[in-house]
A and B are shown apart, each in its own frame.
Chain A
């Protein structure tokens, strides 16, 4: 029987192998400055490691599907990994309905992106380093989803954060990239702090570090409502950091500084969904606390429309996709907040497929145009890059939610969940507001997605006449992901084989809460389709006629356009408030350090020095002075012996 821990261990071994090969390259470069890594070998090792993990996950998945009863495979290394004063921290993995699908997505999409990276990173000096980090990332992400307790999840949580930092700043020779990595890391730390507090609070109140223990304690009503609310909010702070929600979303657009496969794997398909995964994993907490779940839903909706609006005018092809990712993550939280966990998770899976596809497609365009990312300088690529065009069109259709593509069904399920789910903050009317926000966001999504397609692929070339054709390693993953983006619809078709994923997840997330009537569902489905098609039509009307016409329209509303282009000045706001406050604090701390702390240290030193200066006068070298001191000492000793007797 295959061993559960092998799933993360395989990519870890791959990371080790690639790391050693990288060291070898570094050693060779001492003699030949331009020594090249063995790209074929490294790429094969890294890709096979992830592919093997995928095969193993698949095998376990079928074993799980074939098992009866509770449907969970567990593995325990030790019950007492870290002894504490309170409950001991165990080390173990849990392969259940939820984590099994996550494993499949991570390793499946991951393997494709590894394959793609062989082509994308060709000739890069850090080829081996890149695959080391990428494999390490997959290993950490698998630990995150397989963990059966919060501390083990935290290992993966920090591991993916580290890899994200390393890969965003992968081309660290450019200051801008290194700074983007730092920004991501620092902003994530804020979220990690919330997660750590949540972990300790959970252990303190429920007496368990394990998810099963915490969840059953919450379900059993062992905690007061305020306790679950605090717990839920703290967990959500952690989720906000990792999944780039308001107010901690600012790092994700900057994270596009990393190589494009990284954006696809880490900042679209897997790592950024960890927050949603965490919320679903600990869903009983949010079920019990209306305040915590209401905050989740409202933050998600706000993030969705806010980031979506920023995506409307972005000129960088990767930035459009980054804002879209933040916006779609908002959708996921919105779904989780109203209790539509199944819908949220379904959208997570489809999003992983089509967003990875869109990022990889964007990467193939960027590569073909010699690292040009400005949409306004593209255009007319349809003929030169037919493979990228067709696959990206499918990805865009899925993201926009055009009828019959996977995103159509998954987004519609979230929208239906918002209306049919539990009332937000316990106020039923609020769901309609959130539905309106989500519908508006869906319209924006459809618009900016097809704006991207029109700007990049249609019209006349603007600047780049002769793009490179792409090699097969690049187009093959695109095709596979395009097929997956369409086929994933099967997981959640509303009728017929009805909500397959939802039923599969029921052991973990329970029955869906609240039901809409069949006619209402059909009405919503039609509405979602109309919204998506409307966005498509607007984009076509605006950008189908060429860039000049579109710019004229934007110029007619300069205030809105400028606000959107400046991303609502949020980065500036953070600079003026948070960053300046931190700088001021550090300045004051610097003064205190220089004068108070250093003053104490230097003062102690100079006290000793001055004391020594006066004490050394006693030792003037004259024997007779020594004798005098000696005699005086004797007098003191004898006198004290006599007098103090």
Chain B
């Protein structure tokens, strides 16, 4: 099965592009975090789809679980950061936190 042979890859690519788009354009920190989730899950989808029916299927599944775990941790840290920014700036806009501008 070729890489572009399955429609599920197109779905994953679309999800990833959507994530990038959201990450780049949205201002709200929560939405930016959600966009990152989209990209992670696009990656997960690619893992599983690519390994389906091959000898490495189990391996791919375990990678997916790993990614979900990392994503959970990332969200926990990310939300804490959002809260901290909000407490400091009274704003959840991503451009509120640009004190390190060079």
Interface contact tally, CB-CB below 8 A: 30
A640 CB within 8 Å of chain B: no
Residue total for A at the interface (Cβ-Cβ under 8 A): 12
| Distance to closest chain B CB from A638 (angstroms) | 14
User: Considering the complex, which residues of chain A in the window 195-252 have a beta carbon less than 8 Å from any beta carbon of chain B?
Assistant: none
Residue total for B at the interface (Cβ-Cβ under 8 A): 13
Contact A628 B24 (CB under 8 A): yes
Contact B101 A624 (CB under 8 A): no
Contact A627 B101 (CB under 8 A): no
**Nearest CB to that of B26 among chain A residues?**
A624
Contact A621 B94 (CB under 8 A): no
CB neighbours (8 Å) of A623 from chain B are 32, 94, 97-98
**Nearest CB to that of A615 among chain B residues?**
B102
A residues apposed to B, CB below 8 Å: 616-624, 627-628, 631
B residues apposed to A, CB below 8 Å: 20, 23-25, 32, 94-95, 97-102
Partner of B98, one of A616, A622, A628, A631: A622
Counting from the closest, the 5 A-B pairs by CB-CB distance are A621-B101, A621-B98, A619-B102, A616-B102, A620-B101
CB neighbours (8 Å) of A624 from chain B are 23-25, 94
Contact A622 B102 (CB under 8 A): no
Of the A-B pairs whose beta carbons lie under 8 Å apart in the complex, a sample of 18, sorted by A's number, is: A619-B101, A619-B102, A620-B98, A620-B101, A620-B102, A621-B99, A621-B100, A622-B94, A622-B95, A622-B98, A622-B101, A623-B32, A623-B94, A624-B24, A624-B94, A627-B24, A628-B24, A631-B20
Partner of B100, one of A619, A627, A628, A631: A619
CB neighbours (8 Å) of B99 from chain A are 621
CB neighbours (8 Å) of B32 from chain A are 623
| Distance to closest chain B CB from A195 (angstroms) | 61
- The answer for the CA separation of A506 and B32 in the assembled complex, in Å, is 105
Contact B102 A621 (CB under 8 A): yes
Q: Known: A622-B95, A623-B94, A623-B97. Is A617-B24 also a contact (CB below 8 A)?
A: no
**Nearest CB to that of A616 among chain B residues?**
B102
- The answer for the CA separation of A436 and B20 in the assembled complex, in Å, is 107
- The answer for the CA separation of A623 and B97 in the assembled complex, in Å, is 8
- The answer for the CA separation of A623 and B23 in the assembled complex, in Å, is 10
CB neighbours (8 Å) of B101 from chain A are 619-622
Contact A617 B102 (CB under 8 A): yes
| Distance to closest chain A CB from B41 (angstroms) | 18
| Distance to closest chain A CB from B59 (angstroms) | 23
**Nearest CB to that of A631 among chain B residues?**
B20
- The answer for the CA separation of A616 and B101 in the assembled complex, in Å, is 8
CB neighbours (8 Å) of A628 from chain B are 24
- The answer for the CA separation of A619 and B98 in the assembled complex, in Å, is 10
- The answer for the CA separation of A618 and B94 in the assembled complex, in Å, is 17
| Distance to closest chain A CB from B86 (angstroms) | 15
CB neighbours (8 Å) of A620 from chain B are 98, 101-102
